[in-house]
Amino acid sequence: MKAVGFDYERPTALDHALELLARDDVSARAVAGAQSLGPMLNLRLAQPDLLVDITHIAELRQIRREDGTLRIGACVTHARLEDGDYDDATRGVLPAVAAGIAYRAVRNRGTIGGSVAHADPAADWIATLTALGADVVVAGPAGRRAVPVSDFVLGVFETDLQPGEIIAEFRVPALSERARWGYYKVCRKAGEFSHATGAVLVDPARGVSRAVIAAASGRPVVVDDPEVIHGNGCRPERIADLLAGTPIGGDAFEVNTHTVALKRAIAQVTA
Amino acid sequence: MTHSKTITLTVNGKAVTAAVEPRTHLADFLRERQLLTGTHLGCEHGVCGACTILIDGEPARSCITLAVACDGHAVTTVEGLDGDPVAADLREAFSTEHGLQCGFCTPGMLVSARDVVLRRPTADDNQIRVEMSGNLCRCTGYVGIVNAIRRVLDARKTAAE
C-alpha cells in the first residue's frame, strides 16, 4: 500500500525541529531512518500530517565518550554502532547487539532513537539499553530531561515521550573490565523480530547484576534477583511470576520460551 | 492536499531535479519517474529485500525510504551497477550457479550480495546466509545464491594471493 499524503520538513537545528513538532494545528511526527515508521506509513497504521526529518541535525548524530558515559545521539544508525568507529565504553556489547538487528540494509538507515521511540517490545535496543542501565535524554519545549530506559518504555508501542518531545540521546554507563554480558534472542529466521529476548549484565566492580526479559508483549521486565541470575531460579515457575500481569503471563508456551531465552543469556555470563 | 517538494539528487551518477510528493517512496520514484524498473517492489514494508538499492554507496530499502529524504544524496540502482566489476562477477556467478529462476528478487540480491563481497570478504557459507537473510527468494531455496556469492569470494581471494 502507499502512505497517505503528508508534508515534510528537514530542519538542521534541534530548536527548529522542536518548533515544528510543537505545532498543534497538525499532527506532526519525528522521523529518522524510517525503518519502523516507513512500514507504518505504507500500511497506513500511521497517518501524520507532517513528518519532521531529524537526521540532518548534526548534534543528534554524534557519539562521544565523556568520562564514564557513552553518549549516543538519537540519529546514530545501527550500522555505525555495529561497525564500532567510536570509543566503545560497553566493551563490545553495542556492536554485537547492533549486528543482530534486522538486516544490513535496514541497519544502514535505522537509528537507535527511532527504534526506542517506536517501542516495539521485541526491539533489541530496548532490551539492551535497559540491561545496561542507560538513560534516555528527551528534548522538548520545556528543555531536557533524563529518564532511565527501563521507565521510558511504558508498554507496546508506548513511551513516556510527551507531545512535542523527541529523543535527543542515550547515556550508557561504561562497563568495568570484568563485566560480563549475555544476550539471547529466540528467532526462527535470522533478522526477524524476536519472540523472546534475554539480556544479562553482571558487573561486580560496579555492583551491577541485572537481567531483562524482553519481547514479552509489554515493557521489559527487569530482574535483579540473584537467585535467578546466579542461582537456580531461572525456571518456568519463577519466570511466570515475573511475567504475571503481562499479556503472556498465563501462557505456558510463552513463559517457557522466555525462560529458555533468559537461561541461554545467563549461561553466556556464567560460562 | 498536496505538499510537493523539489529535490536534487544523483541517480546512477546523473544529477536529477524533480518535484515529489513527500509520501512517494524512493522505489516508486525510481520506477515511475525515472523509469528505472530494475528495482522491484515485493512486500513494500521492508521485509523482502527486492527493492534494495544503494544510498551513498550503502544498501537500503527503497520502499521504506522516502524520495524526499534522498535530497542531496546519491542513489544507485541495479542499472547503475552495469559497469561495476563486483556486480559483473556476481551476475556471471548467479548465472553459472543457478542463483535465480524467475528473477524477481535478483536486483535486490545483487545489491546485497555485492555488499557482502565488499564488506565480508572472509565470510563462510553460514555468514553469507546470515548476511543475505534480508533478501527473500521463493524459487531457488538459496543454495544457488549462496554458491554464487561463495564463487565470487573464492575467486577474489585467489586473485589476491
Among A215-229, A241-255, B116-130, top mean pLDDT goes to: B116-130
Give the closest of B5, B21, B45 to A43, CB-based.
Answer: B45
Q: What is the CATH number of the domain that holds B28?
A: 3.10.20.30
From B55, B78, B101, give the residue that closes a domain: B78
- Residues B22, A6: C-beta atoms closer than 8 Å: yes
Nearest-CA distance from A96 to chain B in Å? Answer: 14
Q: Is the pLDDT of residue A91 over 70?
A: yes
pLDDT at residue A246 in the model: 87
Chain A (160-219) residues lying within 8 Å, Cβ to Cβ, of chain B: 189-191
Q: Which three cell numbers stand for residue B125?
A: 557459507
Residue A3 identity: A
Q: Which of A240-249, A259-268, B116-125 comes out lowest in average pLDDT? A: A240-249
Q: What pLDDT is attached to residue A257?
A: 97
Nearest residue of A to residue B132, measured between CA atoms = A103
Structure confidence at residue A236 (pLDDT): 96
Q: Name the band, by pLDDT with cuts 50, 70 and 90, for residue B1.
A: low
Cα angle, residue B145 at apex, residues B94 and B88 outer, rounded to 5° = 30
Would you say A239 and A259 are in contact if contact means Cβ atoms under 8 Å apart?
yes
In a mutational test of the A interface, the residue from B9, B23, B40 whose CB has the highest number of chain A CBs within 10 Å is B23
Q: Which residues of B touch A39 (CB under 8 A)?
A: 45-46, 64
Residues 3-42 of A with CB under 8 A from B: 3-8, 10, 34-35, 38-39, 41-42
What does the mean pLDDT of chain B come to? 97
Please answer whether residues B63 and A42 qualify as being in contact, where contact means their C-beta atoms are separated by less than 8 angstroms.
Answer: yes
In angstroms, the CA A211 to CA A232 distance is 14
Q: Are B118 and B79 in contact (CB under 8 A)?
A: no
Question: How buried is B154 (Cβ within 10 angstroms: 0-12 exposed, 13-18 middle, 19+ buried)?
Answer: exposed
Which of B45, B78, B111 is at the close of a domain? B78
What proportion of chain A, given as a percentage, has pLDDT over 70? Answer: 100
Give B-chain residues touching A98 at CB under 8 angstroms. Answer: none
In this predicted structure, the answer to whether residue A164 has a pLDDT above a threshold of 80 is: yes
Domain range for B14: 5-78
Average pLDDT, chain A: 96
- Give residue A21's pLDDT: 97
Q: Are residues B71 and B102 in the same domain?
A: no
CATH number of domain containing B94: 1.10.150.120
CATH architecture label of A7-53: 2-Layer Sandwich (3.30)
- Number of structural domains found in chain B: 2
Dist. CA B100–CA A219, nearest whole Å? 42
**CB contact (8 A) between residue A38 and residue B58:** no
For the A180-270 domain, the top CATH level (class) is alpha beta
DSSP state of A111: B
Fold of the CATH domain A58-173: 3.30.465
Cell numbers standing for residue B137: 527468494
The reported pLDDT for the residue numbered A67 is 87
Residues A109-121 pLDDT 10s: 999 999 999 999 9
pLDDT value of position B7: 98
**In the prediction, which pLDDT does A247 show?**
87
- pLDDT over 90 (residue A28): yes
pLDDT value at residue B161: 86
pLDDT tens across B64-99, in order?
999 999 999 999 999 999 999 999 999 999 999 999
A234 contacts: CB under 8 Å, gap ≥ 6:
A228, A259, A262, A263, A266
Map out the domains of chain A as residue ranges: 7-53, 58-173, 180-270
Give the end of a domain, one of B24, B50, B78. B78
- CB contact at 8 A, A85 and A77: no
CB-CB under 8 Å, B129 with A41:
no
Prediction ipTM score:
0.96
**A41 and B23: CB-CB below 8 Å?**
yes
- Same-domain status, B37 and B99: no
Separation in Å, CA B103 to CA B40, B64, B81, B95: 10, 22, 17, 11
Same domain, B64 and B102: no
Q: Cβ of A229 under 8 Å from any chain B Cβ?
A: no
Mean pLDDT of B109-125: 98
pLDDT tens figures, A222-231: 999 999 999 9
Q: Hey, are the CB atoms on B28 and A103 less than 8 Å from each other? A: no
